[in-house]
Amino acid sequence: MAEYAFPAQLLEELHAHWRPPHSSTSSALPDDLTLLRILETCYHASLRTAELRATRCVLAYVSTDSLSNRSLMRFEHPAILTASELVRLAPVTELHRTLIGCHHFGGMLKIWGLFEHGQAWQTVDSISGTTTREEDLPDDCLTITIEGPGALSVARGEKEVVRLRDGKIIAPHKHPLRQMDKPLGTFFETLVKGLKEPETGDAIISSFKVEREQLLDIYMMAIARILERIRSERHGGSVVISASPLSRRVAYRTYTVIGHAALADDILNHCRALRGLQAAPIDPSSEAERFRAEAAVRQSSQSLIRGVNRVSLLAAIDGAVLLDGKLRIEGFGVRFPVLLPPDTTILDALTGIEYPCDEWGLRHQSVFSVCQKCDEAVGFVISQDGSVKAVKSVQGRLHFWDGILD
Protein backbone atom coordinates (compact mmCIF):
# COMPACT_ATOMS: atom_id res chain seq x y z
CA MET A 1 0.00 0.00 0.00
CA ALA A 2 1.31 3.46 -0.91
CA GLU A 3 2.03 5.77 1.99
CA TYR A 4 1.41 9.47 1.61
CA ALA A 5 2.97 12.29 3.58
CA PHE A 6 0.96 15.20 4.94
CA PRO A 7 1.94 18.48 6.66
CA ALA A 8 2.38 16.79 10.06
CA GLN A 9 5.23 14.69 8.61
CA LEU A 10 7.09 17.86 7.60
CA LEU A 11 7.78 18.89 11.21
CA GLU A 12 10.62 16.41 11.76
CA GLU A 13 12.29 17.38 8.48
CA LEU A 14 12.00 21.07 9.29
CA HIS A 15 13.65 20.68 12.68
CA ALA A 16 16.43 18.58 11.12
CA HIS A 17 17.28 21.10 8.39
CA TRP A 18 16.35 24.49 9.86
CA ARG A 19 19.61 25.53 11.56
CA PRO A 20 18.98 29.30 11.61
CA PRO A 21 22.07 31.46 11.20
CA HIS A 22 23.05 34.31 13.50
CA SER A 23 20.92 37.26 12.52
CA SER A 24 20.21 40.69 13.95
CA THR A 25 16.56 40.32 12.90
CA SER A 26 15.49 36.94 14.11
CA SER A 27 12.33 35.19 12.97
CA ALA A 28 12.93 31.83 14.59
CA LEU A 29 11.01 28.68 13.76
CA PRO A 30 7.72 28.85 15.70
CA ASP A 31 6.56 26.19 18.13
CA ASP A 32 5.21 22.93 16.71
CA LEU A 33 1.54 23.80 17.30
CA THR A 34 1.88 27.09 15.43
CA LEU A 35 4.00 25.52 12.71
CA LEU A 36 1.50 22.72 12.13
CA ARG A 37 -1.37 25.23 11.97
CA ILE A 38 0.46 27.24 9.30
CA LEU A 39 1.38 24.17 7.24
CA GLU A 40 -2.12 22.67 7.39
CA THR A 41 -3.73 26.00 6.45
CA CYS A 42 -1.45 26.33 3.44
CA TYR A 43 -2.04 22.70 2.47
CA HIS A 44 -5.82 23.04 2.52
CA ALA A 45 -5.61 26.35 0.63
CA SER A 46 -3.57 24.60 -2.08
CA LEU A 47 -6.47 22.21 -2.73
CA ARG A 48 -8.93 25.02 -3.39
CA THR A 49 -9.53 27.27 -6.39
CA ALA A 50 -11.01 30.71 -6.94
CA GLU A 51 -12.90 31.14 -10.22
CA LEU A 52 -11.10 28.05 -11.56
CA ARG A 53 -7.69 29.55 -10.70
CA ALA A 54 -5.31 27.37 -8.73
CA THR A 55 -4.08 28.90 -5.47
CA ARG A 56 -0.44 29.97 -5.75
CA CYS A 57 1.15 32.31 -3.23
CA VAL A 58 3.87 32.67 -0.57
CA LEU A 59 3.07 33.01 3.14
CA ALA A 60 5.73 34.39 5.48
CA TYR A 61 5.70 34.03 9.27
CA VAL A 62 7.36 37.32 10.13
CA SER A 63 6.64 40.39 12.22
CA THR A 64 6.44 43.84 10.67
CA ASP A 65 9.30 44.97 12.92
CA SER A 66 11.69 42.81 10.90
CA LEU A 67 10.82 44.44 7.57
CA SER A 68 11.38 47.76 5.86
CA ASN A 69 8.33 50.01 6.18
CA ARG A 70 8.53 51.06 2.53
CA SER A 71 7.69 47.52 1.37
CA LEU A 72 4.68 46.97 3.64
CA MET A 73 0.96 47.10 2.92
CA ARG A 74 -0.48 46.69 6.42
CA PHE A 75 -4.15 46.01 7.08
CA GLU A 76 -5.95 48.16 9.63
CA HIS A 77 -7.61 45.02 10.96
CA PRO A 78 -5.47 41.85 10.62
CA ALA A 79 -7.44 38.86 9.29
CA ILE A 80 -7.44 35.47 10.99
CA LEU A 81 -5.21 33.04 9.08
CA THR A 82 -7.48 30.60 7.27
CA ALA A 83 -7.38 28.71 3.99
CA SER A 84 -10.20 30.91 2.69
CA GLU A 85 -8.19 34.08 3.33
CA LEU A 86 -5.18 32.69 1.47
CA VAL A 87 -7.35 31.69 -1.50
CA ARG A 88 -8.89 35.18 -1.52
CA LEU A 89 -5.55 37.02 -1.33
CA ALA A 90 -3.52 34.80 -3.68
CA PRO A 91 -4.66 36.49 -6.95
CA VAL A 92 -3.39 39.91 -5.80
CA THR A 93 0.12 38.63 -5.10
CA GLU A 94 2.99 38.08 -7.51
CA LEU A 95 4.66 34.76 -6.72
CA HIS A 96 8.10 35.23 -5.07
CA ARG A 97 7.73 39.02 -5.28
CA THR A 98 4.67 39.81 -3.14
CA LEU A 99 4.35 37.83 0.09
CA ILE A 100 1.47 37.45 2.53
CA GLY A 101 2.67 38.25 6.05
CA CYS A 102 1.32 36.59 9.19
CA HIS A 103 2.21 36.57 12.88
CA HIS A 104 0.64 36.25 16.31
CA PHE A 105 -1.78 38.94 17.46
CA GLY A 106 -3.39 38.48 20.86
CA GLY A 107 -2.48 34.79 20.84
CA MET A 108 -4.01 34.18 17.38
CA LEU A 109 -2.35 33.70 14.01
CA LYS A 110 -3.43 36.58 11.79
CA ILE A 111 -2.56 37.97 8.39
CA TRP A 112 -1.25 41.49 8.95
CA GLY A 113 -0.88 42.44 5.27
CA LEU A 114 1.31 42.12 2.19
CA PHE A 115 4.90 43.07 1.47
CA GLU A 116 7.20 43.11 -1.52
CA HIS A 117 10.86 42.25 -1.68
CA GLY A 118 13.64 42.29 -4.25
CA GLN A 119 14.09 44.82 -7.02
CA ALA A 120 14.20 45.30 -10.80
CA TRP A 121 15.59 42.60 -13.10
CA GLN A 122 17.26 40.63 -10.30
CA THR A 123 13.85 39.61 -8.89
CA VAL A 124 12.77 37.69 -11.97
CA ASP A 125 13.04 34.23 -10.50
CA SER A 126 14.61 31.97 -7.91
CA ILE A 127 16.84 30.04 -10.27
CA SER A 128 19.99 32.07 -9.76
CA GLY A 129 19.65 32.21 -5.99
CA THR A 130 20.17 35.99 -6.00
CA THR A 131 16.61 37.18 -6.09
CA THR A 132 16.52 39.03 -2.79
CA ARG A 133 18.73 41.43 -0.94
CA GLU A 134 19.38 40.57 2.70
CA GLU A 135 17.64 43.68 3.98
CA ASP A 136 14.40 42.78 2.19
CA LEU A 137 13.70 39.49 3.97
CA PRO A 138 15.26 38.20 7.23
CA ASP A 139 17.60 35.28 6.58
CA ASP A 140 15.75 33.05 9.04
CA CYS A 141 12.21 34.01 8.05
CA LEU A 142 9.87 31.03 7.61
CA THR A 143 8.17 31.07 4.20
CA ILE A 144 5.74 28.54 2.74
CA THR A 145 5.15 28.58 -1.00
CA ILE A 146 1.90 27.09 -2.27
CA GLU A 147 3.02 25.73 -5.65
CA GLY A 148 -0.09 23.82 -6.62
CA PRO A 149 -2.64 21.30 -5.33
CA GLY A 150 -1.02 19.49 -2.41
CA ALA A 151 2.39 20.96 -3.25
CA LEU A 152 4.22 23.05 -0.64
CA SER A 153 7.78 24.32 -0.45
CA VAL A 154 9.08 25.43 2.95
CA ALA A 155 12.07 27.76 3.10
CA ARG A 156 14.23 29.70 5.54
CA GLY A 157 14.40 33.05 3.83
CA GLU A 158 15.23 32.21 0.22
CA LYS A 159 16.80 28.82 0.97
CA GLU A 160 14.51 25.84 0.50
CA VAL A 161 14.41 23.49 3.48
CA VAL A 162 11.89 20.82 2.47
CA ARG A 163 9.18 20.25 -0.12
CA LEU A 164 5.92 18.29 -0.16
CA ARG A 165 4.87 17.08 -3.61
CA ASP A 166 2.70 14.17 -4.80
CA GLY A 167 2.37 12.99 -1.22
CA LYS A 168 6.14 12.68 -0.84
CA ILE A 169 8.61 14.64 1.30
CA ILE A 170 11.47 15.81 -0.90
CA ALA A 171 14.77 16.91 0.59
CA PRO A 172 16.21 20.28 -0.43
CA HIS A 173 17.93 20.30 -3.81
CA LYS A 174 19.64 22.77 -6.07
CA HIS A 175 17.47 24.09 -8.89
CA PRO A 176 17.73 21.66 -11.85
CA LEU A 177 18.57 24.46 -14.26
CA ARG A 178 21.64 25.33 -12.16
CA GLN A 179 22.95 21.83 -11.49
CA MET A 180 25.90 21.85 -13.86
CA ASP A 181 26.45 18.11 -13.45
CA LYS A 182 22.84 17.31 -14.36
CA PRO A 183 21.12 17.22 -17.79
CA LEU A 184 19.38 20.62 -17.79
CA GLY A 185 22.27 22.53 -16.22
CA THR A 186 24.79 20.92 -18.57
CA PHE A 187 22.64 21.73 -21.60
CA PHE A 188 22.38 25.45 -20.81
CA GLU A 189 25.98 25.79 -19.65
CA THR A 190 27.05 24.39 -23.04
CA LEU A 191 24.83 26.91 -24.86
CA VAL A 192 26.30 29.81 -22.88
CA LYS A 193 29.86 28.62 -23.51
CA GLY A 194 29.05 28.56 -27.23
CA LEU A 195 27.87 32.18 -27.42
CA LYS A 196 29.93 34.28 -29.85
CA GLU A 197 30.75 37.97 -30.14
CA PRO A 198 28.47 39.45 -32.87
CA GLU A 199 31.34 41.42 -34.47
CA THR A 200 34.29 39.01 -34.27
CA GLY A 201 32.76 35.58 -33.85
CA ASP A 202 35.03 34.94 -30.86
CA ALA A 203 33.72 33.11 -27.82
CA ILE A 204 32.18 35.68 -25.48
CA ILE A 205 33.58 34.25 -22.27
CA SER A 206 37.16 34.24 -23.57
CA SER A 207 37.13 37.41 -25.69
CA PHE A 208 35.23 39.60 -23.26
CA LYS A 209 35.93 39.37 -19.57
CA VAL A 210 32.45 38.27 -18.58
CA GLU A 211 32.14 36.24 -15.43
CA ARG A 212 30.74 32.88 -16.50
CA GLU A 213 28.40 32.67 -13.53
CA GLN A 214 27.00 36.15 -14.14
CA LEU A 215 26.38 35.44 -17.82
CA LEU A 216 24.76 32.11 -17.03
CA ASP A 217 22.62 33.72 -14.31
CA ILE A 218 21.23 36.36 -16.65
CA TYR A 219 20.72 33.85 -19.47
CA MET A 220 18.70 31.60 -17.14
CA MET A 221 16.83 34.55 -15.67
CA ALA A 222 15.79 35.60 -19.19
CA ILE A 223 14.36 32.13 -19.83
CA ALA A 224 12.57 32.19 -16.48
CA ARG A 225 11.11 35.62 -17.23
CA ILE A 226 9.76 34.35 -20.58
CA LEU A 227 8.08 31.41 -18.87
CA GLU A 228 6.75 33.56 -16.02
CA ARG A 229 5.25 36.05 -18.45
CA ILE A 230 3.51 33.27 -20.40
CA ARG A 231 2.20 31.80 -17.14
CA SER A 232 0.83 35.16 -16.01
CA GLU A 233 -1.30 35.40 -19.16
CA ARG A 234 -3.03 32.14 -18.15
CA HIS A 235 -3.48 30.91 -21.73
CA GLY A 236 -0.71 28.33 -21.49
CA GLY A 237 1.90 27.69 -24.13
CA SER A 238 5.15 25.95 -24.91
CA VAL A 239 8.71 26.99 -25.71
CA VAL A 240 11.37 24.78 -27.28
CA ILE A 241 15.06 25.73 -27.27
CA SER A 242 17.13 23.72 -29.72
CA ALA A 243 20.91 23.85 -30.01
CA SER A 244 20.71 22.44 -33.55
CA PRO A 245 18.29 23.31 -36.41
CA LEU A 246 15.06 21.30 -36.58
CA SER A 247 13.81 20.18 -39.99
CA ARG A 248 10.29 20.92 -41.19
CA ARG A 249 9.47 17.22 -40.78
CA VAL A 250 10.09 17.57 -37.05
CA ALA A 251 8.90 21.17 -36.57
CA TYR A 252 6.30 22.70 -38.88
CA ARG A 253 6.50 26.49 -38.52
CA THR A 254 3.25 28.37 -39.06
CA TYR A 255 5.31 31.57 -38.98
CA THR A 256 9.02 31.38 -39.80
CA VAL A 257 11.09 34.29 -38.54
CA ILE A 258 14.26 35.43 -40.34
CA GLY A 259 16.90 37.97 -39.35
CA HIS A 260 15.65 38.38 -35.79
CA ALA A 261 18.07 39.80 -33.22
CA ALA A 262 19.19 37.25 -30.65
CA LEU A 263 18.17 37.79 -27.05
CA ALA A 264 21.68 36.64 -26.12
CA ASP A 265 23.02 39.96 -27.49
CA ASP A 266 20.81 41.85 -25.01
CA ILE A 267 22.04 39.54 -22.26
CA LEU A 268 25.65 40.30 -23.11
CA ASN A 269 24.99 44.06 -23.20
CA HIS A 270 23.38 43.84 -19.77
CA CYS A 271 26.40 41.92 -18.42
CA ARG A 272 28.70 44.64 -19.76
CA ALA A 273 26.58 47.36 -18.16
CA LEU A 274 26.58 45.59 -14.79
CA ARG A 275 30.35 45.20 -14.89
CA GLY A 276 30.67 48.87 -15.77
CA LEU A 277 28.57 49.80 -12.75
CA GLN A 278 30.61 47.52 -10.48
CA ALA A 279 33.81 49.17 -11.69
CA ALA A 280 32.50 52.73 -11.35
CA PRO A 281 34.03 54.63 -8.40
CA ILE A 282 31.71 55.67 -5.58
CA ASP A 283 33.50 58.80 -4.40
CA PRO A 284 31.69 62.17 -4.78
CA SER A 285 34.11 63.42 -7.45
CA SER A 286 33.06 60.58 -9.78
CA GLU A 287 29.31 61.08 -9.37
CA ALA A 288 28.78 61.80 -13.08
CA GLU A 289 30.62 58.65 -14.13
CA ARG A 290 28.57 56.52 -11.76
CA PHE A 291 25.36 58.17 -12.96
CA ARG A 292 26.23 57.20 -16.56
CA ALA A 293 26.96 53.62 -15.45
CA GLU A 294 23.60 53.40 -13.66
CA ALA A 295 21.83 54.78 -16.73
CA ALA A 296 23.53 52.13 -18.89
CA VAL A 297 22.27 49.39 -16.57
CA ARG A 298 18.71 50.76 -16.73
CA GLN A 299 18.83 51.01 -20.51
CA SER A 300 20.24 47.50 -21.00
CA SER A 301 17.73 46.11 -18.50
CA GLN A 302 14.83 47.72 -20.35
CA SER A 303 16.10 46.38 -23.67
CA LEU A 304 16.39 42.90 -22.20
CA ILE A 305 12.89 43.04 -20.75
CA ARG A 306 11.48 44.20 -24.11
CA GLY A 307 13.15 41.24 -25.80
CA VAL A 308 11.78 38.84 -23.20
CA ASN A 309 8.26 40.25 -23.56
CA ARG A 310 8.49 39.98 -27.36
CA VAL A 311 9.24 36.26 -27.11
CA SER A 312 6.62 35.53 -24.46
CA LEU A 313 3.79 37.25 -26.35
CA LEU A 314 4.24 34.82 -29.27
CA ALA A 315 3.06 31.94 -27.08
CA ALA A 316 -0.52 33.25 -27.38
CA ILE A 317 -0.62 31.69 -30.88
CA ASP A 318 -1.52 27.99 -30.97
CA GLY A 319 1.69 26.01 -31.20
CA ALA A 320 5.14 26.41 -29.69
CA VAL A 321 7.70 29.20 -29.80
CA LEU A 322 10.96 27.84 -31.24
CA LEU A 323 14.27 29.43 -30.18
CA ASP A 324 17.87 28.63 -31.02
CA GLY A 325 20.76 28.51 -28.54
CA LYS A 326 21.19 32.30 -28.69
CA LEU A 327 17.47 32.66 -27.84
CA ARG A 328 16.80 33.93 -31.36
CA ILE A 329 13.22 33.39 -32.55
CA GLU A 330 13.17 30.83 -35.37
CA GLY A 331 9.41 30.53 -35.54
CA PHE A 332 6.14 30.52 -33.63
CA GLY A 333 2.87 28.68 -33.96
CA VAL A 334 5.23 25.70 -34.39
CA ARG A 335 3.65 22.26 -34.49
CA PHE A 336 5.51 19.06 -33.66
CA PRO A 337 3.91 15.85 -35.00
CA VAL A 338 3.02 13.54 -32.14
CA LEU A 339 4.71 10.31 -33.18
CA LEU A 340 5.39 8.71 -29.85
CA PRO A 341 5.56 4.91 -29.92
CA PRO A 342 2.79 3.14 -28.01
CA ASP A 343 3.37 2.77 -24.28
CA THR A 344 6.06 5.50 -24.25
CA THR A 345 6.72 6.67 -20.70
CA ILE A 346 8.36 9.72 -19.16
CA LEU A 347 10.26 9.85 -15.88
CA ASP A 348 9.73 12.49 -13.19
CA ALA A 349 13.36 13.46 -12.53
CA LEU A 350 12.53 14.73 -9.04
CA THR A 351 10.50 11.84 -7.62
CA GLY A 352 11.65 8.96 -9.86
CA ILE A 353 8.03 8.08 -10.73
CA GLU A 354 7.35 6.94 -14.29
CA TYR A 355 4.20 8.03 -16.15
CA PRO A 356 2.64 7.05 -19.50
CA CYS A 357 3.01 9.96 -21.94
CA ASP A 358 -0.62 9.67 -23.01
CA GLU A 359 -1.72 10.82 -19.55
CA TRP A 360 -1.13 14.38 -20.79
CA GLY A 361 -2.81 16.43 -23.49
CA LEU A 362 -1.68 17.29 -27.01
CA ARG A 363 0.50 20.27 -25.95
CA HIS A 364 2.55 18.09 -23.61
CA GLN A 365 2.75 15.16 -26.01
CA SER A 366 3.99 17.31 -28.88
CA VAL A 367 6.85 18.64 -26.73
CA PHE A 368 7.57 15.10 -25.53
CA SER A 369 7.75 14.02 -29.16
CA VAL A 370 10.22 16.67 -30.36
CA CYS A 371 12.44 16.19 -27.30
CA GLN A 372 12.53 12.45 -27.91
CA LYS A 373 13.62 13.04 -31.51
CA CYS A 374 16.23 15.67 -30.69
CA ASP A 375 18.65 15.19 -27.80
CA GLU A 376 19.86 18.79 -28.29
CA ALA A 377 16.49 20.31 -27.41
CA VAL A 378 14.78 21.27 -24.18
CA GLY A 379 11.06 21.94 -24.06
CA PHE A 380 9.04 23.96 -21.56
CA VAL A 381 5.30 23.41 -21.17
CA ILE A 382 3.24 26.07 -19.41
CA SER A 383 -0.22 24.83 -18.42
CA GLN A 384 -3.24 27.05 -17.97
CA ASP A 385 -3.31 26.14 -14.28
CA GLY A 386 0.14 27.73 -13.86
CA SER A 387 2.36 24.65 -13.64
CA VAL A 388 5.56 24.73 -15.70
CA LYS A 389 7.52 21.63 -16.77
CA ALA A 390 10.90 21.24 -18.44
CA VAL A 391 11.32 18.24 -20.75
CA LYS A 392 14.49 16.64 -22.11
CA SER A 393 15.65 13.31 -23.45
CA VAL A 394 18.50 11.86 -21.39
CA GLN A 395 20.30 8.90 -22.98
CA GLY A 396 17.25 8.14 -25.08
CA ARG A 397 14.78 8.31 -22.18
CA LEU A 398 12.31 11.14 -21.67
CA HIS A 399 12.54 13.07 -18.37
CA PHE A 400 10.52 15.97 -17.01
CA TRP A 401 11.12 18.44 -14.19
CA ASP A 402 7.92 19.81 -12.69
CA GLY A 403 7.50 23.16 -10.93
CA ILE A 404 10.46 24.64 -12.79
CA LEU A 405 9.60 28.19 -11.68
CA ASP A 406 8.79 27.31 -8.07
How many Cβ atoms are within 10 Å of 206's Cβ, its own excluded?
A: 10
> Taking CA 216 as the corner, what is the angle to CA 214 and CA 220, rounded to the nearest 5 degrees?
120
Q: Which of 406, 405, 376, 371 is nearest to 391 (CA)?
A: 371
3-state secondary structure of 352: coil
Global confidence as pTM: 0.66
3-state secondary structure of 174: coil
250 secondary structure, DSSP code: T
> Per CATH, the architecture of 176-401 is what?
3-Layer(aba) Sandwich (3.40)
List pLDDT tens digits, range 213-248: 788 888 988 998 899 889 878 789 999 999 999 998
Looking at 3.20.20, 3.30.1490, 1.10.600, 3.40.1700, the CATH number of the domain 7-170 comes to 3.40.1700
* Lowest mean pLDDT segment, chosen from 11-20, 96-105, 291-300: 11-20
| Cβ–Cβ < 8 Å for 215, 204 | yes
Strand locations in 247-396 (E)? 252-256, 320-323, 329-335, 345-348, 354-356, 377-382, 388-394
7-170 shares its CATH topology with 176-401: yes
Domain layout of the chain by residue ranges: 7-170, 176-401
List pLDDT tens digits, range 78-125: 999 999 999 999 999 877 678 999 999 988 999 999 998 754 334 333
Q: Angle between the 212-233 and 183-193 helix axes, to the nearest 10 degrees? A: 120
- Strands 237-242 and 320-323, sheet pairing: parallel
